[in-house]
Amino acid sequence: MARTLCLLILGASQALFCSDVFWFSYKIVTANGLVVHEQKNIAPVMVPYEGKSQKLCTLELSNTQNLPKEQFLRKHFDEILPCFYQLSSHILSWNEQHLKQGSDRIELVIEPVRFTVDFKDEFATINAIR
Amino acid sequence: MNRWFMTLLASLGLVLVISGCSAKKEEPAKNPKDAMYDFSNEKSFVVYGEGIAPKNTVSPAQAIALAKRAAITDGYRQLGEKLYGVKINSSETVQDAALKDSRIVAQVNALVKDAAITDAAFKDGLYSVRMEITMSARRWQELFAY
């Protein structure tokens, strides 16, 4: 009984302190100018972290349907993606010319970063936590 | 008379020489180290990334969105080329005095921060983005001096 209570308190505190902070990461692979692979990741932070907040952007987005934040962010991933380009974008490129044939492959990775989203009026502000 | 004329000419010449010497400014010697640590200079790198709209998409909007992402990725690659350089591996095989095989591999491995998309356009299935990054000597030192 006591153990269950402890676990409940722990779970509640985790939800209370960590629910508003999320991880973001992104990977895209293009081959000869065409997108061949895309990986979009948004996940809630499971371990409390206190870092400096850095404003990335303000978007004209409002959560009118009162969706849970994680679900809302997943739904609007394409809108929030440009905010994260300015952070660390890791580029790996491979271009091969063999006689008359050429192949080009680029991988762009936005490394995992913690972020928060604040809704005010009809705008959503994205802040990176580092 | 001739002697007076010669003296006048010599005096004029002397005055010219002296004034020329006094007018010459002495420029301070440039120290290459000072130029290296001149943090006031800023330089902008501009690239144009291009991406192709795929044909097998569910809608034209999706094709444009994917073309834009491909263009941004291409732009980042070009910025990486400018900031970090390109590693080139090349091999050519010549047999019987004729080129048998030629292979060139260009690789870029870069980390780019704070690049901005300043313009974008979609025309004839090609998405083009103008990207810009401003690099100061201070920032250059922070990123690359290790």
Element (H, E) at A26: strand A21-31
CB contact under 8 A, A93 and B70: no
Q: What is the pLDDT of residues A85-104, one digit of tens each?
A: 988 889 999 999 998 899 99
Question: Residue A76 carries which side chain, given as an amino acid letter?
Answer: H
Question: Residue B46 carries which side chain, given as an amino acid letter?
Answer: V
Compute the distance between CA of residue B54 and CA of residue B125 in angstroms, rounded to an integer: 8
Alpha helices in A57-124 (DSSP H): 69-75, 77-84
Compute the distance between CA of residue B115 and CA of residue B106 in angstroms, rounded to an integer: 23
For chain B, list residues whose CB is within 8 angstroms of any CB belonging to chain A.
50-52, 54, 65-66, 69-70, 72-74, 76-77, 79-81, 101-117
ipTM above 0.85, yes or no: no
Quote the minimal CA–CA distance from A4 to chain B in Å: 46
Compute the distance between CA of residue A95 and CA of residue A38 in angstroms, rounded to an integer: 19
Q: What is the CA radius of gyration of chain A?
A: 19
Compute the distance between CA of residue B47 and CA of residue A129 in angstroms, rounded to an integer: 30
Instruction: Give the confidence band of A16 by pLDDT, cuts at 50, 70, 90.
Output: very low
B138, with CB counted inside 10 A (0-12, 13-18, 19+), is middle
**pTM of whole model > 0.95?**
no
